[in-house]
A = this chain, B = another copy of it.
Amino acid sequence: MNEVVAGIDIGGTNIAFGLVDQQGNIVARDSTPTNSYSTPELMAESVAWQLVELANKHQAEIIGAGIGAPNGNYYNGTIEFAPNLPWTGIIPLAKLFIAQLQVDCLVTNDANAAAIGEMVFGAAQGMKNFVMVTLGTGLGSGFVVNGQLVYGHDGFAGELGHIIIRRDGRTCCCGRKGCLETYCSATGIVRTVFEWLEIGRQSSLQKLPIEQLTARKIAEAAEAGDSLAMDAFEFTGKILGEALADVVALTSPEAIILFGGLANAGYFIFNPTQASMEENMLVIFKNKVKLLPSQLPESNAALLGAASLIWNG
């Protein structure tokens, strides 16, 4: 029987799950709407049952389960107070799945799962010290030091999105001001463009209804030569590079890997980020740290990341 790990990615809208072999092949996959389960117990029972069905169908044996979830806590195997899920409080996710599947089960948050996925199957293979940065709705990060994920004392380390990059800057959903993710994320670049349109800067993007203004539309406009859109990437990369220079001073990684919606804009975001990072870096670190795109295909990254929690152990 083919040994596989169950990878489970719990999101606010869907729960994606699949079977991943040791080479990183997704043997089978499926998904289910998060809101169809009134309790986490029902969800775990149903997802586990579907995973076992998939395993039977593919003559595979599930040897463990890895789960990526918002506010996932590695130490406790829990989701703790995740704002976007239908279930409240502290959810003993690992325990629920262990009860169903009778195998090891590890939980972490999405960005940490992405970091391990990158180490086991992607751009960070063979690296012992690197930083994963996910540029989606927010900015997530996973730090790997000496080949191990940095969970910190309580399991919540790696909140790069919430370092203060501009004192008294933009209001953040965390209740503070000037957090990195208010500038450097898919949402952040939209705020930048919106602010500039508000003060009357000209752009092809002003024809769009506000609700259609996305990071992807900004990238398309930049591609087409729109100068406001290009400036928005410059501005975003400049600030991200400043933050990454500080990250390098603290952890001196071999590489920083960018993943997610905003990272897909390619050189529009990579070039100004790299330039700003080098410009702001302490001399001893200059020209040493690689800035790399993720090598996990976006549609598989969450499952591979979750499964790699087990394959890495």
- A150–B147 alpha-carbon span in the complex (Å): 11
Closest Cβ–Cβ distance, residue A248 to chain B (whole Å) = 8
- Chain A at the B interface: SS class: loop
Q: Which of A40-48, A153-161, A191-199 interfaces with chain B?
A: A153-161
A96–chain B nearest beta-carbon distance, Å: 23
With a CB–CB cut-off of 8 A, which chain B residues contact A242? Answer: 164, 167
Q: Is there a chain B Cβ closer than 8 Å to A143's Cβ?
A: yes
Beta-carbon contact of B143 and A146 below 8 Å: no
Q: Which of A129, A152, A154, A283: most chain B Cβ within 10 A?
A: A152
| Copies of this chain in the oligomer | 2
Asked if A249 and B160 sit within 8 Å, CB to CB, the answer is: yes
Contacts A174-B282, A250-B159, A282-B174 given; does A245 touch B164 at CB 8 Å: yes
Contact B162 A249 (CB under 8 A): yes
Chain B residues, CB < 8 A from A253: 152-153
Interface set, chain A 237-264, CB cutoff 8 A to B: 242, 245-247, 249-254
CA distance A152 to B148 in the complex (A): 12
- Among B129, B141, B148, B154, the residue within 8 A (CB) of A153 is B129
CB of A151 closer than 8 Å to a CB of B: yes
Q: What residues of chain A have their CB less than 8 Å away from a CB belonging to chain B?
A: 128-129, 141, 143, 145-146, 148, 150-160, 162-164, 167, 174-176, 242, 245-247, 249-254, 280, 282-285, 288-289
